[in-house]
């Protein structure tokens, strides 16, 4: 088994071992830091993943964005084309189980967004280092999607402290994060 597969398994196990109450408490702390984060405050359209399998929870983030009249875009996985489709999310009631069991808007109600309309992207992942290198789930969906954004759009990873590792060796197509927000801090990856 290669180095990335071993690391992915180790971190996913640590994340899965957390109690639901721990995940909620840490996710609430991450939301509080996010709300104080200037790029989040200034963004009018934010792409947010819908959490699953012990990821940092995002439902409260989405509610917060809606409360301030901001537009929310979620990624929909198109498996055959190996790509993410940016789709507007207007209502939680519109969601159905999709690829990998991740919630996504019903096909008949989907409004596809232009990636250039996105002001900020909140990115999931398995592990991160302080330089913003990301270990995803291994399919490369985000690494193929992120280059479609406007230059300068901030890429922010949401992660628990237990997902931070000393070093991730990026591949040729891996796109680093600009910031990582954990339950304890906001990390500016450009400083490392």
| Predicted local distance difference test score (pLDDT) of residue 67 | 97
8 is in an annotated binding site: yes
93 known member of a binding site? no
Instruction: Write the DSSP string, the chain.
Output: --HHHHHHHHHHHHHHTS-HHHHHHHHHHHHHHHHT-HHHHH-SEEEEPPP-TTPPP-HHHHHHHHHTT-EEEEEEEETTTTEEEEEE---GGGEEE-GGG-EEE-GGG--BPPGGG-SEEEE--SEE-TT--EE-SSS-HHHHHGGGSPTT-EEEEE--GGGB-S-----TT----SEEE-SS-EEEGGG-
Q: In this predicted structure, what is the pLDDT of residue 117?
A: 97
* 54 labeled binding residue: no
Structure confidence by residue, pLDDT tens digits, 49-107 = 999 889 999 999 999 999 999 999 999 988 888 899 999 999 988 888 887 788 888 88
Assigned superfamily of 3-187: NagB/RpiA/CoA transferase-like (3.40.50.10420)
- Predicted structure pTM score: 0.94
Q: Per the annotation, does 134 bind a ligand?
A: yes
Tell me whether residue 136 is annotated as binding. Answer: yes
83 appears as a binding residue in the annotation: no
Determine if residue 157 is labeled as part of a ligand binding site. Answer: no
150 belongs to an annotated ligand binding site: no
Was 98 annotated as part of a binding site? no
63 is known to lie in a ligand binding site: no
Q: Is 135 annotated as a binding residue?
A: yes
pLDDT of 153 above 70:
yes
What pLDDT score does 107 carry? 83
Residue 88 known to bind ligand: no
């Amino acid at each position: 088994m290669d180095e990335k597969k071993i690391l992915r398994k180790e971190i996913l196990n640590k994340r899965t071992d957390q109690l639901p109450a721990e995940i909620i408490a840490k996710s609430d702390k991450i939301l509080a830091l996010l709300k104080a984060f200037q790029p989040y405050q200034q963004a009018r359209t934010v792409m947010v993943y819908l959490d699953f399998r012990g990821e940092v929870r995002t439902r409260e983030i989405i509610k917060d964005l809606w409360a301030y009249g901001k537009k929310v875009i979620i990624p929909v996985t198109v498996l055959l084309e190996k790509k993410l489709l940016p789709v507007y999310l207007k209502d939680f009631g519109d969601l159905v189980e999709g690829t990998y069991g991740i919630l996504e808007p019903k096909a008949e109600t989907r409004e596809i967004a232009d990636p250039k309309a996105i002001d900020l992207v909140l990115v999931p992942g398995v592990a991160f280092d302080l330089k913003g290198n990301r270990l995803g789930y291994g399919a490369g969906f985000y690494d193929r999607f992120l280059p479609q954004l406007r230059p300068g759009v901030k890429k922010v990873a949401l992660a628990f402290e237990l997902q931070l590792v000393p070093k991730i060796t990026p591949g040729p197509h891996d796109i680093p994060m600009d910031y990582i927000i954990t339950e304890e801090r906001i990390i500016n990856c450009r400083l490392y």
